[in-house]
Amino acid sequence: MNNVQVNFEDTCKGFLEVAKEAVHQTVSVIFEDPGVQELLVKLYQKGENFTIINLLFEVFMVLVVKMCSFIL
Q: What's the confidence (pLDDT) of residue 72?
A: 56
Tell whether 3 is covered by a domain.
Answer: no
Q: Is residue 67 part of a domain?
A: yes
pLDDT of residue 46: 62
**pLDDT value of position 25:** 83
What integer pLDDT is reported at residue 54 of this predicted model?
73
Q: How many domains does the chain fold into?
A: 1
Question: Does 21 fall in a domain?
Answer: yes
Task: Supply angle C-alpha 32, 35, 39, rounded to 5.
Answer: 100
Vertex 45: Cα angle to 42 and 47 (nearest 5): 105
Q: How far apart are CA 30 and CA 19, in angstroms?
A: 16
Q: Report the chain's mean pLDDT, rounded to a whole number.
A: 76
Residue 2 lies in a domain: no
48 assigned to some structural domain: yes
For 45-70, write each residue's pLDDT tens digit: 766 566 677 777 777 777 777 777 76
Contacts with 30 (C-beta within 8 Å, 6 or more apart), sequence order: 36, 59, 63
For residue 54, tell me if it sits in a domain. yes
